[in-house]
Chains A and B, each alone.
Chain A
Amino acid sequence: MRKILTGNYAVAEAVKLADVEFIAAYPITPQTTIVERLAEMVERGELNAEFVRVESEHSALAAVYGASAGGLRAFTATSSHGLLYMYEMCWWVANSRLPVVMAVVTRTIGPPWNIHTEHTDILTLRDTGWIIAMSENAQEALDLTLLGFKIAEQVNLPFAIGLDGFQVSHTAEVVDVPESLDGFLPKRERFFVIEPGNPITVGGLTENECSMTIRKEMAKDMERVGELVRNSGYVRDYDLVEEYRMEDAEYVVISMGAWCGDMKDAIDILREKGVQIGMLRLRFVRPFPKEFVEKLDCKVLVVDRNYSVGLGGIIATEVKSIANCDVHGIVAGLGGVDVGVDDFVSMFRKFVRGELKGWWP
């Protein structure tokens, strides 16, 4: 059914469709309207979930940890400072192999206080063991949330879906909402379930080798994610990346998130002028779509809306570690600074001419 939904409401619809049993969250802009909508759904009896109000994000993910360890399908959502506040629990969830799904509505980390989009917040998850997806629009936010529950429960790793603050989270678009899921999300065996009468302790002090073993096991399961995404059986086909006008491309732009829509417009304009340029949009950052980057045989530009002080754009650094061709990185739009189609046209032109520097603006 086609509905007009913001990205945040699209995520809430997905959570409802997935019959989530437990939600705990703490409000933070621009995430708040996801859990507000979910609270309404629970209140109206449309969603039969336990909604736990907590006093912080650390507690939100701790509550979700407990619910998931108890066998429930559990969800939370956050942004920026909220994600940092729950950071310790992010590791607990990952290493305990809990299939939690979380929406991360990307927002700049302060100071200065800033509620607009930047991707540095969600990228703090990249070493934790969470699967990390990044949506381009409201439709993808809904689809990736549903896919998130499926994949997370197949590999027993948590799943984060990124949505650009305001650009996706608060922008209303036409979204195709599946009427029902037709067995897309069956209940699955867990590694463990904490339940009365069967006392266990998870994650206590044990031999050092265990820490190494669990990270190795996580790596193995993370490697299965690409195949599972491609064969998910979802109503729309997905892959770890979107390839846009890549045929015969001599120049390829790599980026992620909402502004990729503007980049595609810029690519269309340049293509009309005869520039052979295309885009590899990362729909997933973890697992990193290595196989797509490895086979590139052209000049690559990575546009990062994030920054690691002392090295550079995070995605550019990762692409450089894998690619077999020239890679140029540019950092742009930090703090939600607007970068539009015209900017991308002149950015890509400069790149083609070999005149592009490392920052925009």
Chain B
Amino acid sequence: MECMIAKPSKGAAGKTGLWRTFKPIYHPERCNLCQLCWLYCPENVIDVSEDGITIDYEYCKGCGICAKICVKNAIEMVREEET
């Protein structure tokens, strides 16, 4: 039964960063710290501080939601091979 019960933890489904085809690249100069990306990221891998955001690429699965939601175009999705 224990195997069916999940508790909040980091990376319960493995290193989801390996799933990524596109990588979110942050452009701090365009960011106004609105925190929408932090709110919407389904993997909860965006941290916000006064200096801007940081993305945990070990678990960021590259879904692109942060880039889509960012009205300042401060996050750009770039093919992994091109980064």
Residues of chain A whose beta carbon lies under 8 Å from any beta carbon of chain B:
95-97, 156, 191-192, 199-207, 209-210, 213-214, 217
Contact = CB atoms under 8 A, between A and B. Distances in A.
A178 B28 CA distance: 74
Q: Is the interface of A mostly helix, strand, loop or mixed?
A: loop
Contacts, number: 35
Interface in B4-35: 4-8, 13
B17 to A, nearest CB: 18
A201 B5 contact: yes
Interface string B30-67: 00000000000000000000000000000000000000
Contact of B8 (A95, A191, A199): A199
Contacts of A214: 1, 3-4
Nearest to B6: A201
Given A199-B7, A204-B4, 7 more contacts: A201-B5, A201-B6, A202-B6, A204-B6, A210-B3, A214-B4, A217-B1
A205 B4 CA distance: 8
B4 A96 contact: yes
Nearest to B4: A203
13 contacts: A95-B4, A96-B4, A192-B1, A199-B8, A201-B6, A202-B4, A204-B6, A209-B3, A210-B3, A210-B4, A214-B1, A214-B3, A217-B1
A204 B3 CA distance: 10
Nearest to B2: A191
B13 A205 contact: yes
- 7 tightest A-B CB contacts, nearest first: A210-B3, A201-B6, A191-B1, A204-B6, A200-B5, A203-B4, A200-B7
A206 B6 CA distance: 9
A98 to B, nearest CB: 11
B1 A97 contact: yes
Contacts of B3: 206-207, 209-210, 213-214
